[in-house]
A and B are shown apart, each in its own frame.
Chain A
Amino acid sequence: MKEIVIQTEKLSKIFGDFHAVDGISFEVYKGEIFGFLGANGAGKTTAMRMLCGLSHPTSGKAMVAGFDVFKQTEKIKKNIGYMSQKFSLYDDLTILENLELFGGIYGMSRKEIREKSQSLIEKLGLENESKKLVGSLPLGWKQKLAFSVSIFHEPKIVFLDEPTGGVDPVTRRQFWDLIYDAAHRGITVFVTTHYMDEAEYCNRISMMVDGRIEALGSPSELKAQFHTDNMDEVFYQLARAAKRSDS
């Protein structure tokens, strides 16, 4: 029996008469890499904000890391990690200071922060950079570090919102190595991306269209379902059918 870490049932968010998220139901399992895909404007960000406890749903049910998205948002925030391309680390703090800050925010003890900082810096090979400002690091390093910080407090789930946008192809793959490692350790990874090759790296994928989840399965299941051999085509078939156009 797989352990469920995210469960939603008819989860909806309505702004005025606009059904941004329109009754989505799905489950995500422990240690899974779950790709959350969809066109711009399909409702991914709104759904993700509800799951992170940042936006109050209009109706439906959802449990994240064992907590209710209606009533226990503070507990959810403590048990998840989050990283996006737009917000990651503070450029004007050093690597160590960033770790201290985020560790502190998540309630880790000073001793724990110190020990974990050291092992993380060794693992990433950043011994010579640990006292340098994050702003001075190359973008690829920053993104890898930001991911490591987002799971620094060993959350049950980490939410990644387009984490590899604009990153070079080699660094992008190194980033996915880190994701695989985290999932292997039992951290559930919930990730959005516009790179269809990255969709292939996920265990399962959901495709959102006009606020609803129109397809859900492993990459090979989805390709079989849409009679194609690549994820690009799955995406085109679904997104082209969208009524709610972003443009």
Chain B
Amino acid sequence: MASLNSTEQQRGISVSVQNLTKTYGKNKEVLAVDSVSFEVKKGELFGLIGPDGAGKTSIFRMLTTLLFPDSGSATVDGFDIVKDYRQIRNTVGYMPGRFSLYQDLTIAENLHFFATLFGTTVEENYHLIKDIYVQIEKFKTRRAGKLSGGMKQKLALCCALIHKPTVLFLDEPTTGVDPVSRKEFWEMLKRLKEQEISIVVSTPYMDEATMCDRIALIQGGKILSLDTPDNIIGAYPDTLFAVRSNNMYDLLRTLPQYENIKAHYAFGEFAHVSFKSGNASDLEKFLKQKGLSGIETKTVVPNIEDAFIKMLQS
């Protein structure tokens, strides 16, 4: 695959995925990944955004050569995921969704182990992990199994980075993590990007999409949309309104009764609403007639979650 390797390299493409498909079950009855195609550029932070069961982990496992695809093809760093699996395993870093380090080795031992496995030393690539490692260094003699969730996550990231991978695959690194720690984790990723490592990251949290250069919104094994977060939001077709009243329960019950409504759903302290026809002041009148009070409406700029909901509902 030397020729392919060089063409992909020249184009500055880190990961190239063509019609990748994966099924499970005796009769291939579960279609987990349904002809997915995308490219990740060198040094790009690329996000796979979608709920559990969307196929994110299957894609990761195929790209890291842990699963064979049923059909389609992909290259990572120019190497074919089926034929060149050995090279890929040497060049990529992978942080699976489930904590997969050795629980009975300490922080320092795990790190040393992974460095040795890849024929390098912790010292050689220490600059890559320094920012992250200093946060857990004082616990370096503690066994991995005894660490808190946040510390495990940081150690796993260090171990995935210690051989200086060209592409880093992070499968749901922030799931179950509180909003403050999630924000910190994304700040770490932004700094890694500056080291010219391509990063493919998955998340079920829609609000994290804006941290990526480009994203693929994925559901049911299919990519619904693929672009920069700004372009996806820019392509949102409707004018979106935020509506509030003193009673959210009553508001959510009453909105579907307004006949000119196109879409409506709860969004934090507001309900987001779009219209077939009609307008916000008509809706306000209607809600008042229905006995609601404290009504407030305003136009809002949609975000990725609005875009995702729109795609799921159309």
Contact = CB atoms under 8 A, between A and B. Distances in A.
Nearest to B151: A247
B266 A176 contact: yes
A39 B136 contact: no
A166 B148 contact: no
Contacts of A197: 266-268
Contact of A138 (B53, B184, B305, B308): B53
Interface string B138-170: 000000000011110110000000000000000
A201 interface: yes
A41 B204 contact: no
A167 B267 contact: no
Contacts of A139: 51-53
A241 to B, nearest CB: 10
Interface string B23-56: 0000000000000000000000000001111100
B248 interface: yes
A170 B148 contact: no
A201 B179 contact: no
A231 B180 CA distance: 12
Nearest to B219: A168
A247 B181 contact: yes
A141 to B, nearest CB: 11
Nearest to A236: B180
A94 B266 CA distance: 32
Interface string A113-148: 000000000000000000000000011100000000
A240 B182 CA distance: 13
B151 A194 contact: no
A53 interface: no
A246 B312 contact: no
B179 A171 contact: no
B313 A246 contact: no
B257 interface: no
B268 A39 contact: no
B135 interface: yes
B180 A169 contact: no
B180 A39 contact: yes
A169 B176 contact: no
Interface in A67-114: none
Nearest to B132: A247
| Residue from A169, A194, A200, A247 with most neighbouring chain B CB atoms (10 Å) | A247
B268 A239 contact: no
B268 A235 contact: no
Contacts of B51: 139-140, 166-169, 171
A231 B267 CA distance: 12
Contacts of B313: 170
Interface in A143-180: 162, 165-171, 173, 176-177, 180
Interface string A205-240: 000000000000001100000000011100110011
B269 interface: yes
23 contacts: A38-B178, A40-B150, A40-B178, A40-B181, A41-B148, A41-B150, A139-B53, A165-B176, A168-B50, A168-B204, A170-B309, A170-B312, A170-B313, A173-B266, A184-B249, A196-B268, A197-B267, A231-B268, A235-B180, A236-B183, A246-B149, A246-B151, A247-B135
Interface of A: 38-41, 138-140, 162, 165-171, 173, 176-177, 180, 184, 194-197, 200-201, 219-220, 230-232, 235-236, 239-240, 245-247
